[in-house]
Amino acid sequence: MMKDPFEAALEEQNLETPPESPIHADDEEIINVQPLAEADDYDGDSNLSFPPHASSSVRPSDSTPVVGSGGTGRGKEEEEEEDEEENMDVDMRRVPSGDPDKMAKMKEILSRFTDDQMSRYESFRRSGFQKANMKRLLIGITGTQKISLPMTIAVSGIAKMFVGELIETARIIMTERKENGPIRPCHIRESYRRLKLEGKVPRRSVQRLFR
Amino acid sequence: MHGSSATGGASKSRAGPSQPTDASLKRKRGFFQKDLQHMMYGFGDDHNPLPETVSLVEDIVIEYVTDLVHKAQDIAPKRGKLLTEDFLFLIRKDLPKLHRCTELLSMNEELKQARKAFEVDEEKIANAE
C-alpha cells in the first residue's frame, strides 16, 4: 500500500542524523558535548545564535535581516528527501542547496550540537501545519473553492516561516528587555507590531471596520 | 489596540450568515495547537510554550493566512484559485519565503513524478507475473 511520502519521511526521521547523509551517518555524527567556547554561547543565549549558523550554511539568499526565514529554508524539504521509494531521485535531492561545502558545514555544525539543541533542531525540521487542517482553513477562507495540494503545501510553508519570524523577533525583544523564560503574549504582540512595520505582514488596503 | 483574536471570526462573518460562522469560529480554537507547540519550540520558545502564547500565535497565523488569501484573491482575476498569485504577492517582499515556496513545490513535483514512475513499475511487475 502506498504510503504518503510525507508521512513515511516523517517516520524515518526518527534517526537523529542530518538527512543528507542518511544511512551511515551515525558513525560520523557522534554528538559531542565538547567544551567549545561556542557551545557556551549557544546555551546561554536562548538559541539566538543558532539560526545564523543554519542560515549561513544553507540559504543562498541571506539578505533579510530576520534571521529565521533563512534558517527555516530547509524545514520540510529534508523530510521529503528521506522517502526511500524514490531511490532514483535521492541523489538529486541529497544536495538540497546544490553545494557540498554547505552540506559539509551543516554536518559539522550538527555534530557539535548538544542534546538540547538537537531536540530543538529536530522540532524545527519536523514541525509543520497538517495539510488537512490547512486545507480546511483555506477552504473556509475562500468559500467553496477547491484547494489544490500544492497550494496547501505552499501556504503551509509560508505560514511556518512566518511563525519563525514571529518567534525569533519575540526572542530578540526578550533579550532587549532582558527577560527570560517562556515567551509571553506581550512579546508576541510587540513582535507582530514590528513585523507589521517592516511590511512583512500582508495588510488589507481597506481598513477592516466593525470587528 | 486591535484584538487579533476577533479577526479570525470577523473575516468569516463577511463571507456568510452568522450561524455557520459561529460554528467555524469554534472550530478554529485550538486548531493548530499541537503543531504550533512543536513549531514554537523549534524556533526558540520554551519546551512548553505558554498556552496563551500559543493561542495568540495561532490567531495571528490564521489572520495572516486569511489576509494573504484575500490579497491573492484581490490580485487574481475571477478564475479558479492559482498558486502563482501567492508568489506574485511574496516576490515583492520576501525572498527567503519565495525561495522556500519554489523549493517545496518543485520537491512536490518530483515526488509526484517519482510516485507515478513507481506505480508504473509496480504494474509492470504485476503484469509480468
The verdict on pTM exceeding 0.90 is no
The answer to whether position A193 is within a domain reads: yes
The answer to whether position A102 is within a domain reads: no
Question: Hey, are the CB atoms on A47 and B44 less than 8 Å from each other?
Answer: yes
- The amino acid at B62: I
What residues in B contact A129, CB-CB < 8 Å?
32, 35
Domain B1-80 has CATH 1.10.20.10: yes
Q: What is the pLDDT of residues B17-71, one digit of tens each?
A: 444 444 444 455 677 888 899 999 999 888 888 999 999 999 999 999 988 888 8
Cα–Cα dist A209/B88, whole Å:
27
Are A168 and A71 contacting, i.e. CB atoms less than 8 angstroms apart? no
Q: Where along chain B do its domains lie?
A: 1-80, 91-129
How many angstroms separate the CA of residue A54 from the nearest CA in chain B?
Answer: 12
The answer to whether position A56 is within a domain reads: no
Cα–Cα dist A10/A82, whole Å:
8
How does DSSP classify residue A72? G
Are A93 and A81 contacting, i.e. CB atoms less than 8 angstroms apart? yes
The answer to whether position A93 is within a domain reads: no
Cell of B32: 493548530
Are B44 and A48 contacting, i.e. CB atoms less than 8 angstroms apart? yes
Cα–Cα dist B89/A204, whole Å:
13
Q: How far is CA B31 from CA A26, B34, B50, in A?
A: 37, 8, 16
For A206, nearest residue in chain B (alpha carbons): B71
Position B56 scores a pLDDT of: 92
For A185, nearest residue in chain B (alpha carbons): B53
Question: Hey, are the CB atoms on A151 and B69 less than 8 Å from each other?
Answer: no
Cα–Cα dist A147/A134, whole Å:
10
Question: Hey, are the CB atoms on A150 and B11 less than 8 Å from each other?
Answer: no
Q: Where residue A173 sits, what CATH number does that domain have?
A: 1.10.20.10
ipTM of the complex: 0.73
Question: Phi and psi dihedrals of B128, rounded to 5?
Answer: -70, -30
Question: Hey, are the CB atoms on A200 and B94 less than 8 Å from each other?
Answer: yes
What's the domain range around A160? Answer: 130-202
Cα–Cα dist A80/A73, whole Å:
14
Closest partner residue to B53 (CB to CB) among A47, A184, A208 is A184
Q: What is the pLDDT of residues A152-191, one digit of tens each?
A: 888 899 999 999 999 999 999 999 999 888 889 999 999 9
Provide, rounded to the nearest whole percent, the portion of chain A with pLDDT above 90: 22
The answer to whether position A183 is within a domain reads: yes
Cα–Cα dist A43/A195, whole Å:
27
Question: Phi and psi dihedrals of A140, rounded to 5?
Answer: -60, -35
Position A174 scores a pLDDT of: 93
The answer to whether position A195 is within a domain reads: yes
- A25 Cβ under 8 Å from any chain B Cβ: no
Q: What is the pLDDT of residues A48-103, one digit of tens each?
A: 434 433 333 333 333 333 344 444 444 444 444 444 333 333 333 333 456 788 88
Closest partner residue to B60 (CB to CB) among A51, A138, A192 is A192
What residues in A contact B85, CB-CB < 8 Å?
none
Question: Hey, are the CB atoms on B103 and A77 less than 8 Å from each other?
Answer: yes
Question: Hey, are the CB atoms on B67 and A202 less than 8 Å from each other?
Answer: yes
Number of domains making up chain A: 1
Q: Which residue has the cell 542530518?
A: A18
For A48, nearest residue in chain B (alpha carbons): B44
Burial of A149 (C-beta count, 10 Å sphere; 0-12/13-18/19+): exposed
